[in-house]
């Protein structure tokens, strides 16, 4: 009996020990969950509130102010959207007097929040988009400093780069660091002045095709005057030039790629990529699925073009090298994997397809619009072309002598720069003038505002006056570093020489064959679709000389 009692007592002790162990296990588990939950809350509070506030405080200590965030999660986005909505509701078409179009204050219509805050806080102020802290910088001295930063400490905005990845991938435009240097080295060599001179002939051929097309429309029209909406024709012209110059093909062969890139461009613009964070860019919403599908289609079409080019090179080893060939050789020489090689090729092709034709076409349209609005300048340009070309097609030497056309192009780029912003991000703590900017600050420089500031350009800043560039950019304004239609510093547009030559050829061919004026149907209203362009196109009345 005593032995049985001992066994029972030991069994009860073991049961109590098991119960105690279970209690401690549950308590430990709950403690762990509590610690994890508190850590998560702490992390969220730090990321969403404390870290952004620390960045804002560092800027405040240096005398920088700005609109206070209206929400912890969205920053100033709600205020931005409210200001923008009010501006849209008050928007009217600006198309009556010639001077009205040149002086059209589209910055307050397309980007009203920037103008609203600039009037309140000056040329340097901070604002928030989500948890991202932003600094608006339009002071001439600081703009100059941004252009002079050569290190990798000041790079592309990471959020914008990620949002635009379906369109640009990791190509030369959004890339950073050593990858950017490598890609720029390849592409800059193909857009050097010597290379551009060799492309003049094919530019002229593409321009002649456009001129002949318009000539037929005039013949078929009543009274010998055709009404032409020039935009799609200019896109076809510039796309044909970039296709032939860089890819050894024609516009008709790459037409699907250009069209799909244009659609993708509009889709990303509609998502207001500049005003919103990119948290949901990987969420499988309908709009994101449409973007991903289009991205795959563009990739497939580019790889098909690449395969055709490789087969052509095998059949003709002496084929002249162009940009596509250089990109292919670079992918091969760097011993990239098949997947990396395809991505490198496709991304850089997308960058060239997008930047190489869209910007030139839009700026060409603005140039033609201004020449149509100002017949005296049209006549002056026409006389210069007649004197320089003497009835012949323009060549590289003739382009160099076309000072009047260059002045018109520069003035157009002053009043209607295609890209409205220089966007940078501090990838490390960066010194800019007297400011010490902490890592993670996005910098915005608004180009149209710089280009229309009377303190920089004089009282005629909002007038079409190409004469201001008669003695070059350095004599045209008080601060030459504020003329940045092609960007600034080491990230300046690689294709600027190519684009200027292309526009000179287009304008010289057009004025030598036609006289033209703005159609009464033309509605002057701008829109932002990755670049600033006419919302309803440019309508001309065109007549043969």
Q: What is the pLDDT of residues 334-375, one digit of tens each?
A: 777 778 888 888 888 888 887 777 888 999 999 999 999 999
Over its C-alpha atoms, the chain yields an Rg (Å, rounded) of 29
Tokens representing 235? 């896109």
**Residue-level pLDDT at 271:** 59
Dig out the tokens for 385 from the structure.
Answer: 């072309």
Among 440, 420, 446, 422, residue whose Cα is nearest residue 117 = 446
The SS3 call for residue 436 is strand
CB 109 within 8 A of CB 255: no
Strand order in the sheet with 132-137: 124-129, 132-137, 441-446, 421-426, 154-155
Residue 511: the pLDDT is 96
Check whether 97 has a pLDDT greater than 50.
no
Which percentage of the chain shows pLDDT scores above 90?
Answer: 36
Distance CA 319, CA 328 (A): 14
The answer, yes or no, to whether residue 499 has pLDDT greater than 60, is yes
Average pLDDT, the chain: 84
Token pair, residue 352, equals 């060239």
Q: Which residues contact 189 (CB under 8 A, 6 or more apart)?
A: 195, 326
Mean pLDDT score, 3-8: 61
Encoding tokens for residue 51? 């870290």
Average pLDDT, stretch 231-249?
Answer: 86
Cα–Cα dist 230/414, whole Å: 21
478 by Cβ neighbours in 10 Å (0-12 / 13-18 / 19+) ranks as: exposed
The two three-digit tokens of residue 273, written as one number: 């990529």
Chain segment 406-417, per-residue pLDDT in tens: 999 999 999 999
pLDDT recorded at residue 95 = 42
For residue 436, which phi and psi values (nearest 5 degrees)?
A: -110, 105
As a whole number of angstroms, the distance between CA 157 and CA 180 comes to 14
Confidence label for 17 from pLDDT (cuts 50, 70 and 90) = low
DSSP 279-323: TTTTS--HHHHHHHHHHHHHHHHHHHHHHHHHHHHHH-TTPPP-H
Long-range contacts of 147-150 (CB under 8 A, 24+ apart): 147/481, 147/484, 147/488, 147/489, 148/489, 149/430, 149/432, 149/489, 149/490, 150/489, 150/490
pLDDT-derived band of residue 541, with 50, 70 and 90 as boundaries? very high
Q: Is the pLDDT of residue 509 over 50?
A: yes
Average pLDDT over residues 163-175: 79
Q: Which residues contact 42 (CB under 8 A, 6 or more apart)?
A: none
The whole-angstrom separation of Cα 417 and Cα 435 is 28
pLDDT of residue 401: 94
- Token pair belonging to 230: 């020039």
For the whole model, what pTM was predicted?
0.86
pLDDT at position 325 over 70: yes
Q: What is the spatial distance between Cα 482 and Cα 417, in angstroms, rounded to a whole number?
A: 12
Q: Which residues of 223-239 are buried (b: 16+ CB within 10 A; e: fewer)?
A: eebbebbbbebbbbbbb
374 three-class SS: coil
Residue the block writes with tokens 């959020």: 159
What is the distance between the alpha carbons of residues 524 and 132, in angstroms, rounded to a whole number?
A: 35
CA nearest to 498, candidates 203, 206, 175, 300? 203
Checking if the pLDDT of 52 tops 50, the result is: yes
The percent of residues in the chain predicted with pLDDT above 70, rounded, is 86
């Amino acid at each position: 009996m005593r032995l049985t009692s001992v066994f029972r007592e030991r069994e009860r002790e073991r049961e109590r020990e098991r119960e105690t162990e279970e209690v401690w296990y549950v308590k430990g588990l709950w403690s762990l969950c509590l610690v994890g939950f508190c850590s998560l809350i702490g992390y969220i509070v730090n990321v969403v509130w404390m870290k952004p506030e620390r960045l804002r405080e560092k800027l405040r200590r240096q005398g920088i102010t700005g609109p206070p965030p209206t929400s912890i999660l969205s920053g100033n986005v709600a205020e931005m959207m409210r200001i923008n909505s009010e501006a849209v509701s008050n928007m009217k078409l600006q198309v009556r007097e010639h001077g009205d179009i040149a002086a059209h204050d589209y910055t307050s219509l397309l980007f009203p929040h920037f103008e609203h805050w600039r009037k309140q806080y000056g040329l340097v102020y901070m604002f928030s988009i989500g948890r991202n802290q932003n600094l608006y910088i339009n002071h001439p001295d600081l703009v100059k400093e941004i252009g002079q930063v050569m290190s990798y400490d000041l790079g592309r905005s990471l959020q914008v780069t990620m949002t635009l990845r379906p369109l640009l991938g990791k190509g030369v435009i959004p890339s950073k660091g050593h990858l950017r240097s490598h890609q720029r080295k390849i592409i800059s060599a193909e857009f050097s002045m010597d290379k551009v001179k060799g492309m003049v002939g094919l530019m002229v051929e593409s321009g002649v095709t456009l001129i002949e097309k318009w000539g037929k429309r005039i013949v078929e029209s009543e009274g010998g005057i055709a009404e032409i909406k020039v935009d799609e024709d200019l896109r076809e012209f510039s796309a044909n030039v970039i296709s032939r110059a860089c890819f050894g093909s024609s516009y008709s062969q790459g037409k699907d790629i250009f069209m799909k890139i244009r659609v993708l461009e509009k889709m990303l613009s509609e998502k207001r990529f500049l005003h919103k964070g990119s948290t949901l860019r990987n969420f499988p919403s309908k709009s994101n699925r449409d973007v991903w599908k289009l991205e795959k289609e563009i990739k497939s079409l580019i790889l098909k073009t690449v395969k055709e080019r490789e087969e052509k090179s095998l059949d003709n080893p002496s084929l002249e090298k162009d940009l596509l060939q250089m990109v292919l050789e670079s992918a091969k020489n760097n011993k990239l994997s098949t997947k990396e090689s395809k991505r490198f090729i496709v991304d850089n092709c997308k960058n060239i397809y997008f930047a190489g034709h869209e910007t030139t076409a839009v700026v060409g349209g603005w140039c033609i619009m201004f020449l149509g609005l100002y017949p005296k300048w049209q006549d002056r340009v026409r006389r210069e072309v007649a004197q320089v070309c003497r009835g012949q097609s323009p060549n590289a030497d003739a382009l160099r002598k076309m000072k009047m056309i260059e002045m018109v192009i520069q003035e157009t780029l002053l009043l209607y720069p295609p890209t409205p912003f220089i966007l940078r991000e501090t990838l490390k703590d960066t010194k800019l003038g007297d400011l010490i900017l902490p890592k993670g600050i996005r910098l915005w420089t608004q180009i149209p505002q710089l280009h229309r500031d009377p303190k920089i350009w004089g009282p005629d800043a909002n007038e079409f006056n190409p004469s201001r560039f008669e003695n070059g950019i350095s004599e045209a304004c008080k601060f030459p570093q504020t003329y940045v239609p092609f960007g600034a510093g080491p990230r300046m547009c690689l294709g600027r020489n190519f684009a200027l030559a292309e526009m000179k050829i287009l304008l010289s061919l057009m004025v030598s064959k036609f006289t033209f004026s703005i159609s009464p149907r033309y509605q002057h209203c701008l829109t932002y679709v990755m670049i600033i362009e006419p919302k309803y196109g440019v309508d001309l009345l065109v007549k043969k000389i």
